[in-house]
């Protein structure tokens, strides 16, 4: 799905803010939370997320939803 199509789908699901985030290859984010649910769409490369004691790697074309208040880390 194209970035535009993802944005349209997310808005239809009620996400009011969407944006493209690009990081360097070895970016790392320690445990943190968000006040609202977040949806992460991997456009290229991969992201490894740890949440609720489970770790999963998401690759291009995959979606990862994080509930509001869920403690998680990413790299």
Provide the b/e sequence for 39-58 (b: ≥16 CB within 10 Å).
eebeeeeebebebeeeeeeb
Has residue 70 got a pLDDT over 90?
Answer: yes
The average pLDDT across 5-14 equals 92
Q: Quick one: pLDDT band at residue 19, thresholds 50, 70, 90?
A: confident
Q: Where are the domains of the chain?
A: 3-74
- pLDDT tens track for 48-62: 999 999 999 999 999
Separation of alpha carbons 68 and 72, rounded Å: 11
Strands (DSSP E) found in 1-75: 29-32, 38-41, 46-51, 54-59, 63-66, 72-74
CATH class of 3-74: mainly beta
């Amino acid at each position: 799905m194209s970035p535009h199509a993802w944005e349209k789908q997310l808005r239809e699901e009620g996400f009011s803010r969407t944006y493209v985030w690009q990081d360097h290859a070895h970016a790392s984010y320690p445990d943190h939370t968000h006040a609202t649910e977040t949806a992460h769409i991997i456009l290229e490369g991969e992201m490894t997320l740890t949440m609720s004691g489970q770790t999963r790697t998401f690759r291009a074309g995959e979606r990862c939803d994080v509930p509001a208040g869920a403690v998680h880390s990413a790299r």
